[in-house]
């Protein structure tokens, strides 16, 4: 594995994390959070943790996002920060 690839993905991960907590629309947060999880999954796959990456892809990027959207559907999208 080449460390530049790793570094680029890590930068993306941090970018997604900051964006997810800064953006002012919770639905956007949900999607950015899904992207974050998927980037994370990519990172772990690159590091050879295939089982963990598989789990994160199905849980973090999949089911968690669905729970998230469901909860937003039942609460509200608006947020002040």
Partner 1 sequence: MKFLGFIVVGLAGAILLYGTGDFPDWGDPYSPASLHISKDYIEKALDQTKVPNIVTAVLADYRGFDTMFETAVIFTAGLACFLLLRDFREKKERFYRHTPTGVILHVKAGKKILDGGKEFEYMDKDWVPSDLIIKTVCRILIPFIQIYALYVVAHGDFSPGGGFQGGVIFGSSLILLAISYNLKTLVKRISEKMLGVYAALGVLIYLGIGVICMLMGGQFLDYAKLAPLIPFDSNHIRALGMLGIEIGVGIAVTAVMAIIYINIVSEGRHDEGL
Partner 2 sequence: MTDLLALIVAKYNYWLYVILMMIGLYAMIAKNNLIKKLVGMNIFQTAIILFYISIGYKKNATLPIIENVHGTGGGHIYAIDYINPLPHVLMLTAIVVSVATFGVAMALAVRVYQRYKTLEEDELRMRLSEK
Binding residues for partner 1, rule: CB under 8 A, are 50-51, 53-55, 58-59, 62-63, 66-67, 69-71, 73-74
Q: Which does 62 bind (CB under 5 to 8 A by kind): partner 1, partner 2, none?
A: partner 1
No. of H helices and E strands in the chain?
A: 4, 0
Q: Helix, strand, coil shares of the chain as percentages rounded to 5?
A: 80, 0, 15
CB 14 within 8 A of CB 39: no
* Beta strands in the chain, from DSSP E residues, in sequence order: none
The 2-21 contact track toward partner 2, x by CB under 8 A, reads -x--xx--x--xx--xx-xx
Alpha carbon 4 to its chain centroid, in Å, reads 21
Q: Where do contacts with partner 2 occur on this chain (CB under 8 A)?
A: 1, 3, 6-7, 10, 13-14, 17-18, 20-21, 26, 29, 33, 36-37, 40, 43-44, 47-52, 55-56, 59-60, 63-64, 67-68, 70-72, 74-76, 79-81
């Amino acid at each position: 594995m080449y460390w530049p690839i790793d570094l680029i993905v890590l930068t993306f991960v941090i970018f997604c994390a900051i964006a997810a907590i800064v953006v002012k629309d919770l639905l956007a947060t949900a999607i950015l959070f899904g992207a974050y999880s998927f980037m994370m999954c990519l990172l772990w796959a690159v590091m050879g943790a295939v089982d963990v990456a598989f789990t994160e892809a199905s849980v973090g990027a999949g089911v968690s996002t669905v729970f998230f959207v469901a909860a937003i559907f039942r609460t509200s999208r608006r947020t002040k920060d």
